[in-house]
Amino acid sequence: MRYDGCMKTSRASLAGSFEQDNNLLGGISVEQFLEQYWQKRPLLIRQAMPGFTGVLEPNELAGLACEEEAQSRLISYKRGKWLLEQGPFDEGRFARLAKTNWTLLVQGVNHFLPEAADLLKRFNFIPYARLDDLMVSYAPDGGGVGPHFDSYDVFLLQGMGKRRWRISQQKDISLVEDAPLRILKHFDTQQEYILEPGDMLYLPPQVAHWGVALGDCMTYSIGFRAPSAQELAQQFLSYLQENINLDGMYSDQDLELQENPAEISNAMVVRVHHMLSQLRWDASLVGNFLGEYLSEPKPHIVFDQPAKLSIGQFSKKACCDGLRLDLKSQALFYKDSFFINGERVRFCSDWDCYLKMLANERHLPASVLQGAGESLLMQFHQWFLAGYIQLKTERSRD
């Protein structure tokens, strides 16, 4: 891989290299896909995006892998062993790589490139609450991450080059011991495909797969969140701790003398059990929890602070140019609540259409903002100062 040094924004745009068409799901409707394939069985889609070769070049991916803000990994296979290195990387690392059998992966590319975020919007037939991010990988001949399975849904879109995919719905999920990755010990190939630029493979959770580069290639992985029940329970209990107040204090006016002073009596257990039975939650509380939890940025994400503008300056520019969510922002809504990056705002009726449009479309045109009230523009100003939203003129493309 040729590497010209770390870079953030200076790059040649490849966004126009694929045509917008309606063939993303191979000619079947979204309803048919959701009913027959989503979380049920794999789907191979030839030329899902005709003409697509990618939204960045290999050396640009290497540049992202050098950045502190990006999550990157380098996976190689040497002498029968899998090796894993975590980024950020020094640019000299790429010059020392072998010619075959390694892979560079960068998570959250949609947080850095507008073109990558636009690519994700093509998949908005799946709710944003389920969307994770866009991971991009580059590999020379023989590169891959080994046979494995994921606990989430993924679309594997081929950019430049070719990759051979083998898939299996095997029951044996035993793993290679002491490997830094979850590599399957045994892999039973049941189907095999070679993907070329613009081809795409959908895989539901728990379907084992193994991709190997046939020459230099790049793959775009659109992944979806699937929290475990344990993770949801732990996070929900933390949410309850911050959002529920129970009445009363422990009391035992009928306390009786105990034979063993160190013993926790049944009577005490019953009293505390009764106090804790006050814990209650309903669907609305769960919905608000999900809004905050699913919009919460990952720990490594940091929002850039813009040049400060007064509320008057900001309102004037917003009504002339429009607003958009920052690439790293996640916005959701539930009933009368709007969630942005883990924060909840309850909106009144005159905010409703604006906030829902911002969440759905990730931008608000100037023509729409001209009808916004002063209180809403003040809220937008606060989010602007926090780096959550931007004036449209701050990005080169819509």
Return the DSSP state at 103.
E
pLDDT at res. 10: 35
Residue 342's contacts (CB-CB under 8 Å, 6 or more residues apart) are 292, 293, 295, 296, 297
Q: Which of 14-23, 60-69, 305-314 has the lowest mean pLDDT?
A: 14-23
When pLDDT is cut at 50, 70 and 90, the band that residue 347 belongs to is confident
CATH T-level topology, domain 15-224: Jelly Rolls (2.60.120)
Output the average pLDDT for the chain.
92
Q: Sort strands 389-391 and 323-325 into parallel, antiparallel or unpaired.
A: antiparallel
Cβ pair 362, 295 in contact under 8 A: no
Dist CA 89 CA 70 (whole Å) = 10
Q: How far is CA 20 from CA 49, 119, 128, in A?
A: 8, 10, 21
Amino acid at position 216, single letter: D
* Sheet containing 337-340, strands listed edge to edge, beginning at the edge strand earlier in sequence: 331-334, 337-340, 343-346
Instruction: Name the band, by pLDDT with cuts 50, 70 and 90, for residue 72.
Output: very high
Residue among 388, 335, 317, 378 nearest 358 (CA): 388
Domain edges within the chain? 15-224, 228-249+264-281, 311-394
Q: pLDDT of 13-61, one tens digit each?
A: 343 344 444 589 999 999 999 999 999 999 999 999 999 999 999 999 9
Closest CA to 164 of 136, 133, 189: 189
Phi, psi (degrees; rounded to nearest 5) at 360: -75, -45
143 burial type by CB count under 10 A (0-12 exposed, 13-18 middle, 19+ buried) = buried
Could you tell me the pTM of the whole model? 0.89
pLDDT tens by residue, 227-245? 999 999 999 999 999 988 8
